[in-house]
Amino acid sequence: MTSRRTSPTNDARLTLGELRKRCEAQALPLTGPRLAVLETLVGLQGTHPTADEVYACARDRGFHIGRATVYRALEAFVARHVLTKAAHAGTAMRYDGTLARHHHLVCLRCNGILDVADERLDAIPLPDTSKLGFAISDLQIQVRGICRACQEREQADQP
């Protein structure tokens, strides 16, 4: 799952230009290190990398950048709606340039994430929390299971 090549909700390739545009629109200064993070993300497209994976990949590509800078840059991007992040409990955050509404398939083995679009999931009504005084800001759906790669790996391990 770490090396997925297709992305069902993201067939339009994410380009560096699109990401730069989003930063400009939000008046987020595009410094050298931040640009390195975006470039790395474009290369990791479709894999929903963790911050550490982005960091490692950026270093591999020859960028001189600190781990904290990667974490800070990714959070800045999320705050300005340049990227989104997601994770299930107990695992590292994963970042992604898909802004369009979608949902996540979370693999319980490798913790990877697959995007999936589903109109029926989009239409889910918010519960009535008036009696609880709970102010809803959003609703998240996580579909958990085992991704194809992990299924195949498990079959190979124990035939």
Partner DNA sequence: CTAATTGCAAAGGGTTTGCGATCCC
Partner DNA sequence: GGGATCGCAAACCCTTTGCAATTAG
Asked if 109 touches DNA (CB under 7 A), the answer is no
| Beta carbon nearer to its own copies, 55 or 63 | 55
The encoded tokens of residue 81 equal 């709606």
* Residue 30-69 contact track with DNA, rule CB under 7 A, x = bound: -xxxx---------------xxx-----------xxxxxx
* Smallest distance from its own copies to CB 80, Å: 18
Query: For residues 69-88, which are near DNA according to CB under 7 A?
Result: 69, 71-73, 75, 87
Asked if 118 touches DNA (CB under 7 A), the answer is no
* Smallest distance from its own copies to CB 40, Å: 22
CA distance 109 to 48: 15
| Beta carbon nearer to its own copies, 56 or 149 | 149
How buried is 85 (Cβ within 10 angstroms: 0-12 exposed, 13-18 middle, 19+ buried)? middle
* Smallest distance from DNA to CB 34, Å: 5
Contacts of 7 (CB under 8 A, 6+ apart): 45, 46, 98, 115
Residue 11: closest CA among 111, 103, 117: 117
Query: Which listed range, 19-27, 40-48, 52-60, 124-132, lies at the site for its own copies (CB under 8 A)?
Result: 124-132
The CA-CA-CA angle for residues 149, 152, 153, to 5°, reads 85
Query: For residues 1-30, which are near DNA according to CB under 7 A?
Result: 28-29
Q: State how far the alpha carbon of 148 is from the alpha carbons of 88, 116, 152, in Å.
A: 19, 14, 6
The encoded tokens of residue 144 equal 């958990």
Question: Which residues of this protein are in contact with DNA, per CB under 7 A?
Answer: 28-29, 31-34, 50-52, 64-69, 71-73, 75, 87, 90-93
